[in-house]
């Protein structure tokens, strides 16, 4: 029996030592450790650390980052009181810089369109190819091409039978969050909205997004509230989707285009004016871009990507259900770059 106890002590001691070392590597500050803090056993905690490592490798801006963020000494944790959930990550490594309710399942409204944009880039080789508009996108609710707000139109809307490029629809979807564009692009890729949702969820699974389930290409609330409960993501997953989308420069070049951009149908007969919902484009010189989201169920949400002045380091900030989203996300970006160095 004495020999058995000795062997047990030898096995347990290195396991615990290894665990703390791995936590320090995968979670260099207190907020990142919160991701796995609810695990109740050594086996569960190790699994949590391993899962975090795998998730980071699958959904970040680069596969071989050159720099690692290091928190400066004496920096206090950030508090974002206006947001029901908020996260900041380093886009290139996936390292969490700020984390509050990061894995809580919530409605995300038009932040959904970032995943739709990723799939457009991956499934449509030529963005100048024609997309034929049918009745389904034309009669979609909410913001549409030519109508920057529901019930407020500034130019021609999409017409049934119109042919317009995938690029133009991508512009309307990312800049002005046009729901009809998201629906048309999803149907162009997969044939039906439901089939496209299957593609979205398959991509989410591929990226290791364990707290995400899409129901539409646009992020519109479903009429059936019980069904709508099955449509969700989290601030952490959205941050990782945004980081992954940075692999496609086209997405973020479009996101930075100014308001009053004009797109036309393939035959040139229809012109559509697109506004940009980004309120910080002229206020933050190193902004890469942002995506807004709002529905009654989701509240006001926002994801923003920003570079430091050297443009070598990029962060993603996310707030969900935040009535002061623009002020808060600007504060978050400033805090991140003043609180961390990259080595």
Same domain, 299 and 236: yes
Following DSSP, what letter does each residue of 41-57 receive, concatenated? SHHHHHHHHHHHHHHHH
Shared domain for 199 and 261, answered yes or no, is yes
Neighbours of 292 (CB within 10 A): 22
In a domain, 265, yes or no: yes
Confidence of residue 328 (pLDDT cuts 50, 70, 90): very high
Q: Specify whether 21 is located in the same domain as 118.
A: no
Please give the tally of structural domains in the chain.
2
Q: Is 298 domain-assigned?
A: yes
What is the tens place of the pLDDT at every residue in 70-123? 999 999 999 999 999 999 999 999 999 999 999 999 999 999 999 999 999 999
Question: Length of the chain, please?
Answer: 343
pLDDT of residue 55: 53
pLDDT tens digits for range 143-161: 999 999 888 999 999 999 9
pLDDT value at 168 more than 90:
yes
Is residue 74 included in any domain, yes or no? no
What pLDDT digit, counting tens, does each position of 290-300 carry?
A: 999 999 999 99
Task: Indicate if 122 and 266 belong to the same structural domain.
Answer: yes
Under 8 Å between Cβ of 133 and 116? no
Judge if 117 and 9 occupy the same domain: no
Q: Which pLDDT tens digit goes with each residue over 71-84?
A: 999 999 999 999 99
Task: Tell me, yes or no, whether 242 lies in a domain.
Answer: yes
Joined tokens for residue 261 = 């951009």
- The answer to whether residue 336 is domain-embedded is yes
Beta bridge partners of 262: 273
Whether the predicted pLDDT of 282 surpasses 70: yes
Task: For residue 29, tell me if it sits in a domain.
Answer: yes
What confidence tier does 10 reach under pLDDT thresholds 50, 70, 90? Answer: very low
The parent domain of residue 41 ranges over: 1-58
Residue 29 shares a structural domain with residue 119: no
Q: Answer whether residue 64 is part of any domain.
A: no
* Phi and psi at residue 85, to the nearest 5°: -155, 140
Domain boundary among 58, 82, 101: 58
Same domain flag for 37 and 116:
no
**Model confidence, pTM:** 0.84
| Residue 98 located in a structural domain | no
Dist. CA 40–CA 45, nearest whole Å: 7
Cβ pair 75, 14 in contact under 8 A: no
User: Residue 72 belongs to what H/E stretch?
Assistant: none
DSSP of 161-215: T-EEEHHHHHHHHHHS--HHHHHHHHHHHHSSHHHHHHHHHHHHHHTT-TT-B--
Contacts 24+ apart (CB under 8 A), 147-151: 148/176, 148/275, 148/277
The reply to whether 118 and 12 lie within a common domain is no
Q: CATH code at 191?
A: 3.40.710.10
Distance of CA 31 to the CA centre of its chain: 19
- Detail the DSSP E strand segments found in the chain: 69-71, 83-90, 96-100, 130-132, 163-165, 261-264, 271-274, 287-295, 299-307, 314-322, 340-342
Identify the residue with better confidence: 157 or 1: 157
Q: How many Å apart are CA 183 and CA 172, to the nearest integer?
A: 12
- Of 289 and 20, the structure prediction assigns the larger pLDDT to 289
């Amino acid at each position: 029996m004495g020999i058995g106890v000795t062997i047990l002590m030898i096995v347990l001691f290195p396991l615990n030592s290894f665990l703390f070392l791995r936590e320090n590597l995968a979670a260099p500050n207190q907020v990142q450790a919160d991701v796995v803090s609810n695990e109740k056993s050594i086996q569960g905690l190790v699994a949590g650390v391993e899962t975090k490592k795998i998730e980071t490798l699958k959904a970040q801006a680069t596969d071989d980052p050159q720099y690692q963020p290091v928190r400066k000494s004496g920096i206090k944790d950030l508090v974002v009181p206006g947001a029901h959930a908020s996260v900041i990550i380093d886009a290139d490594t996936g390292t969490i810089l700020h984390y509050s309710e990061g894995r809580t399942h919530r409605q995300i409204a038009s932040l959904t369109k970032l995943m739709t944009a990723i799939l457009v880039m991956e499934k449509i080789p030529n963005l100048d190819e024609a997309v034929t508009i049918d009745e389904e996108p034309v009669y979609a609710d909410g913001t549409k091409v030519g109508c920057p707000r529901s019930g407020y139109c500034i130019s021609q809307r999409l017409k049934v039978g119109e042919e317009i490029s995938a690029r133009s629809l991508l512009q309307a979807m990312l800049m002005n969050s046009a729901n009809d564009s998201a629906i048309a692009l999803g149907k162009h890729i997969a044939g039906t909205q439901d089939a496209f949702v299957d593609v979205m969820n398959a991509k989410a699974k591929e990226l290791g997004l364990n707290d995400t389930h899409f129901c539409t290409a646009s992020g519109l609330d479903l009429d059936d509230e019980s069904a709508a409960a099955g449509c969700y993501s989290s601030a952490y997953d959205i941050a990782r989707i945004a980081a992954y989308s940075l692999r496609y420069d086209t997405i973020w070049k479009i996101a930075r285009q100014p308001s009053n951009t004009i797109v036309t149908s393939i035959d040139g007969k229809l012109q559509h004016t697109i506004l940009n919902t980004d309120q910080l484009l002229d206020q933050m010189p190193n902004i890469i871009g942002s995506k807004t989201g709002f529905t009654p169920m989701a509240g006001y949400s926002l994801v923003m990507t920003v570079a430091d002045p050297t443009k070598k380091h990029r962060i993603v900030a996310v707030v969900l259900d935040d009535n002061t989203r623009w002020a808060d996300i600007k504060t978050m970006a400033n805090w991140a770059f003043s609180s961390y160095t990259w080595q």
